[in-house]
Amino acid sequence: MSDLLSEQKRYYAERAPEYDDWWLRRGRYTRDGEQERRWLSDVAELEERLRRFVPRGDVLELAAGTGIWTRRLVPVADQVVAVDANPETLALNTPAAELVVADVFDWQPPRRFDVVFFSFWLSHVPDERFDEFWELVRFALRPDGRVFLIDSGPPEVPSDGERQVRELADGREFTIVKRFWRPEELAARVRRLGFELDLELTGNRLFIHGGSA
Amino acid sequence: MSDLLSEQKRYYAERAPEYDDWWLRRGRYTRDGEQERRWLSDVAELEERLRRFVPRGDVLELAAGTGIWTRRLVPVADQVVAVDANPETLALNTPAAELVVADVFDWQPPRRFDVVFFSFWLSHVPDERFDEFWELVRFALRPDGRVFLIDSGPPEVPSDGERQVRELADGREFTIVKRFWRPEELAARVRRLGFELDLELTGNRLFIHGGSA
């Protein structure tokens, strides 16, 4: 694994206990009421979109993290296999899923699934591993299998390159990959790899989401 | 306020930082995979039920706590006023709601609402304050206003009395009120106070839920 990906993995291991503060906008992630309302509205939109997608059958979640979405997949799926590189984050996930500690960049699915799901993960896949990652998705899916993804929406002002420096609550800094995608750009890119995805942004453009058309 | 209610209030203030561990079944609340699946399935049922209720308009949430449900009310409501006795819990709630520090047993709603919502609260209302609490609900509602409630399901073996001794992660003990309700029993009790509630248990009987018929 590259140094950058090792550092990214370590960042998420160390961030595990404070990860949900980001999602729940607590502590240093607290914003004002209006920003909060936009966030919660877009979160509700994601949940509704996933509900309509119906992630039924055998579901594979890649980079499952602390389980914010795993807990929403479990009640609909027959079974959820939740893969994450860090035992520190899986310790906060749910034992209602089959939890697998494995690096997504170095893992072969032992069987095939009806749905492959990943949230806030694709933006952390560096460009040079992009095609390889989608090969894994294809390999993990049954012929009629479906993909669903959620990620950060693109910033108003496009960022330069695909690296970010992130800081933990205690001030330690890590360099990670963060590559933003616009819906049409991502749809075109994966179409060349054989995936037809119906992607869009949430109303306040905070998230990109969608799945197999 | 009675000593018991003061102790209950203090318990929830002290429990604030570990409260969500209960909801997310983390740490000492971790159960096995099968129990987790039942829990997550019943949680999904609660969310679906609230979605169908549509908590629109001006919403008052009583004993709002750390905001597990406040965050689901905000995207649907025009405005949410979230009342809780403890600033410690409201600090973990969302600024997308209007946060009011006030003891529900000693508070007058300053205006009227379309919906009054409370989760895991009614079971903490002692029998002697039951009618008074529902007076507050009536007083807080517009003439066509609606109620929605969520609470713990009744245990298989009925418990004796309405007190429980609860322990925090650090071992400190508190005595609190915990009064379980069966749907038909609660519906009959509030019918005498002028409320028609459509109440039921979730599929695995973990929660009671429902609202104005």
Candidates A26, A28, A38, A81: best to mutate against B (most CBs of B within 10 A) is A26
pLDDT tens-digit map of A78-130: 999 999 999 999 999 999 999 999 999 999 999 999 999 999 999 999 999 99
Shortest CA distance from B28: residue in chain A: A92
- A75 chain-B contacts, CB cut-off 8 A: 37, 40-41, 43-44
In Å, how far are B65, B72, B148, B149 from B69, measured between CA atoms?
Answer: 9, 5, 12, 11
Interface pTM, i.e. ipTM: 0.92
Least Cα distance to B83 among B111, B56, B42 occurs for B111
pLDDT band at B168 (very low <50, low <70, confident <90, very high): very high
pLDDT of residue B108: 94
| Sequence-ordered list of residues with C-beta below 8 angstroms from that of B197, at least 6 positions apart, any chain | B147, B149, B186, B187, B190, B191, B210, B211, B212, B213
Residue A118 β-bridge partners: A149
What does the alpha-carbon distance between residue B201 and residue B55 come to, in Å, rounded to a whole number?
Answer: 20
Indicate whether B1 pLDDT > 80: no
Single-letter code of the amino acid located at A166 = R
- B74 chain-A contacts, CB cut-off 8 A: 36-37, 40-41
pLDDT tens-digit map of A26-52: 999 999 999 999 999 999 999 999 999
Indicate whether B161 pLDDT > 90: no
Shortest CA distance from A37: residue in chain B: B96
pLDDT of residue B25: 96
pLDDT band at B123 (very low <50, low <70, confident <90, very high): very high
Contact call for A31 and B76, based on CB within 8 A: no
Token reading at B27 = 């740490």
Residue B166's Cβ-count burial label (10 Å; 0-12, 13-18, 19+) is: middle
Indicate whether B47 pLDDT > 80: yes
Indicate whether A4 pLDDT > 90: yes
Task: Provide DSSP, B146-197.
Answer: EEEEEEEPPPSSPPSSSEEEEE-TTS-EEEEE-----HHHHHHHHHTTT--E
Contact call for A43 and B75, based on CB within 8 A: yes
Task: Tell me the nearest-neighbour CA distance from B39 into chain A, angstroms.
Answer: 9
Give the CA radius of gyration of chain A.
16
Q: In what order do the strands lie in the sheet with B98-101?
A: B98-101, B79-84, B58-62, B113-119, B141-152, B207-212, B197-201
How many contacts does A have with B, using Cβ atoms within 8 A? Answer: 64
Which among A36, A43, A75 has CB closest to B44?
A75
To the nearest whole number, what is the mean pLDDT of chain A?
Answer: 96
Measure the N-to-C terminal CA separation of chain B; round to a whole number of Å: 33
Least Cα distance to B93 among B72, B112, B120 occurs for B72
Three-state secondary-structure class, residue A139? helix
Shortest CA distance from B35: residue in chain A: A96
